[in-house]
């Protein structure tokens, strides 16, 4: 549906459009929030995965502590 071609000729059309805008804003906010969560997960993985993969217990402990203290 091309919104520009719609003529808000009745209050029900206006209401439908208002609801649609609210829905779109909510959808957009929901998608935007994934940016921060993805960044957080990538950061945790990057900082902690390498010492875990190396199976170096001391390095894992040190990485967890260093990460915690840097927050």
Partner 1 sequence: MAGARIRPGISRVDDQGLRLRALDDRALDVCFDGRRVWTFWTLRDTEGTGPLRRVAWPRPLVKHLDGRSVVAVRDSASGATYFEQELALGSGAGRVEVVSPKGVELGFDKSGKLVPTFAGRSERDLGSLLDATEAVVAALRECGLEPFLAYGTLLGAVREGRVLGHDSDADLGYVSRHDTPVQVARESFRVQRELAERGFATYRYSGGAFRVDVQEGGVTRGLDVFGGFLDRGRLYLMGEVGTPFLEEWLWPLTTAQLSGRTLPVPAQPEHLLEAMYGAGWKVPDPAFKFTTPARTTRALEGWFRGTQPGIRYWERRASASTRGSFREPSVLARRAARLAGELGAEVLDVGAGRGADSVWLARQGVPVTAYDYVPRGLRDAVDVAAAEELPLDVRPLNLTEWRSVLAEGAHLAHDPRPRVVLARHVLDATSAFGRESLARLCSMALREGGRLLADLHVVDDAAGGDRPGDPGEDAPDWMVGRPDAEAVATLLRRYGATRVVTKRLPNRDRTTVRMVGEWSAWT
Q: CA-CA distance, 30 to 28, in Å (whole number)?
A: 5
**At 20, is the secondary structure helix, strand, or coil?**
helix
3 part of the interface to partner 1, by CB under 8 A: no
Q: Any idea what DSSP says for residue 3?
A: G
Q: Does 69 bind partner 1 (CB under 8 A)?
A: yes
Q: Which of 2, 11, 58, 68 binds partner 1 (CB under 8 A)?
A: 68
Q: Give residues 18-47 in contact with partner 1 (rule: CB under 8 A).
A: 25, 28-29, 31-33, 35-44, 47
Q: Contact positions toward partner 1, by CB under 8 A?
A: 25, 28-29, 31-33, 35-44, 47-48, 61, 64-65, 67-71
């Amino acid at each position: 549906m091309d919104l520009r071609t719609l003529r808000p000729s009745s209050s029900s059309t206006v209401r439908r459009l208002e609801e649609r805008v609210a829905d779109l804003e909510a959808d957009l906010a929901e998608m935007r929030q994934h940016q921060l969560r993805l960044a957080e997960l990538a950061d945790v993985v990057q900082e902690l995965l390498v010492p875990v993969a190396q199976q170096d217990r001391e390095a894992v402990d040190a990485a967890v502590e260093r990460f915690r203290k840097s927050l």
